[in-house]
Amino acid sequence: MTATMPKAPTLPAPRGPISEAVLSALRGNRPESPAVDGSPPYGEDLQLALYCCYEPHYRGFDGVDADLEWDPALLTIRAELEGAFLGALRADVPAGADVESELGELLVEHVDAFGVSHHLRRQGELWQLREYVALRSLYHLKEADPQTFVIPRLDGPPKAALVTVQHDEYGAGDPERAHSKLFADMMAELGLCEAYGAYLDSAPAEMLAEVNFMSLCGLHRGLRGALIGQFATVELTSSPGSDRLVKAMRRLGCGPAAIRFYAEHVEADAVHEQLVRREVIVPLLSAEPELAPDVVFGIRGSTFLAARLEERLLRHWNRGESSFRSGMDGRRP
């Protein structure tokens, strides 16, 4: 049986001086300003530090004072971390402003494409599926929350359409159907610990960076266009990958509670794709055409970070190794 854990996760272990300073601040100490310059922007230390700066805006950490969510010292450190992360992304992701073309590209599945869902569908092993689900829990147990931050930053038709999508994400009034709950049910059926944040110490920087990008865009009004681009990327590309994961689970003999999460996304995200494209992005850019480059940045930034995570997973799995930071083999911690 899964051990009972607090609703808020415990603080993780530090991965370097920057995350050590952030964790010290979260314990109530006055942090010394860490040297952010020179730290790899996609590295373990910076990404964990940034993730821990954002987590107080969600469920927080066990034993951490809720008032630290708006602590000036932590916000100062966070701004430095965000600057390094955002600067690296803007340097690595080509600029563009043709949103329609970018969305069209997301809808095309190239015949030679091969990612994690393809691997799991064709030859993946059960331990690899469990590992993938454990890592994805860093987002899916808070599914739709980063995107909800953008709602008060929108107006009129885009706001109404986005709320419609979010209503589905949160179970359309039924908490048992909320996507985060379906994901937790899947974890339990796969023998994983479904507690929020249980796999934070195991998650590599590549996974943290994906979640951090969502939080970064959601928490800054100036990046609302990028958040919409990120959300569009998820909704437009989810259905085919989810279908492959359903088939992978059936091939591996997983039960119905495990299959239900991705089966739900095959159908729901096909509908959400149309809503996001036609009823969020079109009226948003009609009212604020200057946001087009940010929407493209959100799409390309999300794709770039997702590719980095997939590359790590496949590189380790092809060697028969775990991709977990701790070298765990996919068993319950």
Of 67, 92, 117, which marks where a domain is finished?
Answer: 92
Are 127 and 270 part of one and the same domain?
Answer: yes
pLDDT in tens, 169-220: 999 999 999 999 999 999 999 999 999 999 999 999 999 999 999 999 999 9
User: 83 and 124 share a domain?
Assistant: no
% of residues, the chain, pLDDT over 90: 84
What is the chain's pLDDT, residue by residue, as a tens digit (333 residues)? 344 445 799 999 999 999 999 999 999 998 778 889 989 999 999 999 999 999 999 999 999 999 999 999 999 999 999 999 999 999 999 999 999 999 999 888 776 779 999 999 999 999 999 999 999 999 999 999 999 999 999 999 999 999 999 999 999 999 999 999 999 999 999 999 999 999 999 999 999 999 999 999 999 999 999 999 999 999 888 889 999 999 999 999 999 999 999 999 887 666 778 889 999 999 999 999 999 999 999 999 999 999 999 999 999 999 999 999 964 444 433
Q: Does residue 188 share a domain with residue 309?
A: yes
Angle at 257 between CA 178 and CA 274, to 5 degrees: 45
Question: Does residue 117 share a domain with residue 85?
Answer: no
Do 126 and 62 share a domain, yes or no?
Answer: no
Residues 40 and 186 in one domain: no
Say yes or no: 37 and 140 in one domain.
no
Beta carbons of 322 and 316 less than 8 angstroms apart? yes
| Cα dihedral sign, 166-243-256-196 | negative
Percent of the chain with pLDDT over 70: 95
The total number of structural domains in the chain stands at 2
Q: What residue numbers bound the domain in which 66 lies? A: 17-92
Query: How far, in Å, are 205, 258, 299 from residue 213 at the CA level?
Result: 12, 27, 11
Is residue 276 included in any domain, yes or no?
yes
pTM: 0.94
Is 36 part of any domain?
yes
H runs (alpha helix) in the chain: 17-26, 44-54, 72-92, 99-106, 116-122, 126-140, 145-148, 156-169, 179-189, 205-218, 224-251, 256-274, 282-287, 292-318
Residue 333 lies in a domain: no
What's the rounded Cα separation, in Å, for the pair 183 and 123?
23
Decide if 8 is inside a domain.
Answer: no
Does residue 40 form part of some domain?
yes
DSSP 8-class letter at 16: S
Contact 300, 307 (CB under 8 A): no
The pLDDT tens digits for 118-140 are 999 999 999 999 999 999 999 99
Q: State how far the Cα of 1 lies from the Cα of 323, in Å rounded to an integer.
A: 25
Longest dimension (CA), the chain: 54
The answer to the question of residue 153 being in a domain is yes
Is the same domain home to 268 and 129? yes
**Cα gap 227→165, rounded to integer Å:** 14
In a domain, 330, yes or no: no
Q: Do 206 and 181 have their domain in common?
A: yes
